[in-house]
A = this chain, B = another copy of it.
Amino acid sequence: MKTSFLAECFPVLEKELLEDIEKHSTVAYFDVNEHIVEQGKYIKFLPIVLKGNVKVYSHEDAFEFLLYYISSGESCIYSFAHTFNNQPAEFSAIAETNSELLMLPIAKVKQWLNTYPSFGNLILSDYQRHYNDLLQTTKQITCYNLDQRLLDYLRQKCKMEKSNILSISHKTIANDLGTSREVISRVLKKLRTANSVVQIGRKIKVL
């Protein structure tokens, strides 16, 4: 079952490799808000998102901000800077929804990288994706003000949740965007008067 999902997700990988992956890795389940990676700790596995959505964020002092999301549909392999250098993680990752991850042991990953070029290519192309996601996030932060960023954030959420009605607290949004709850409250009001969103009870409907 794992193999068939993997084969579907990564058609480029050889059958032999897929079997080896299945043999040596484990599936882990994470509940909503459960940590998959904690900034400052050491990573022993290379996680692959099989099901669910994973939020990747970082913090510096008390500041916290969203880097990007990883969904099973789009990108299956999780970014893993420092995995190989044996340095602590520079970011955290938590399950945004209940998630299912395949955990590849680092030692094996190193071995596969040296045996299967297809595996290396996969990892590399995935790194590119995350690099680019991060770049886009950085552009957002530097080039746009909160109004725009909040709207983009909400739209991204909608896409992920496949719904234009979001149940999310202002506090959570504030954390993700690196600002304070009051500010989100204020900016949401602005978006409301601009007819970009409406609030239904405590939910936000994105138009």
A residues near B (Cβ < 8 Å) are: 58, 60-61, 63, 65, 67, 79, 81-82, 84-85, 90-91, 113-115, 117, 120-121, 123-125, 127-128, 130-132, 134-135, 137-139, 141-143, 178
Contact = CB atoms under 8 A, between A and B. Distances in A.
Contacts of A58: 135, 138-139
Given A138-B138, A143-B178, 15 more contacts: A58-B139, A60-B143, A61-B143, A65-B138, A67-B138, A81-B131, A84-B128, A85-B128, A90-B135, A91-B135, A114-B121, A127-B128, A134-B134, A134-B138, A142-B178
B121 A113 contact: yes
Contacts of A82: 128, 132
Q: Chain A interface mostly helix, strand, loop or mixed? A: helix
Contacts of A125: 84-85
A90 B135 CA distance: 8
Contact of A141 (B81, B114, B141): B141
A80 to B, nearest CB: 8
A181 B117 CA distance: 49
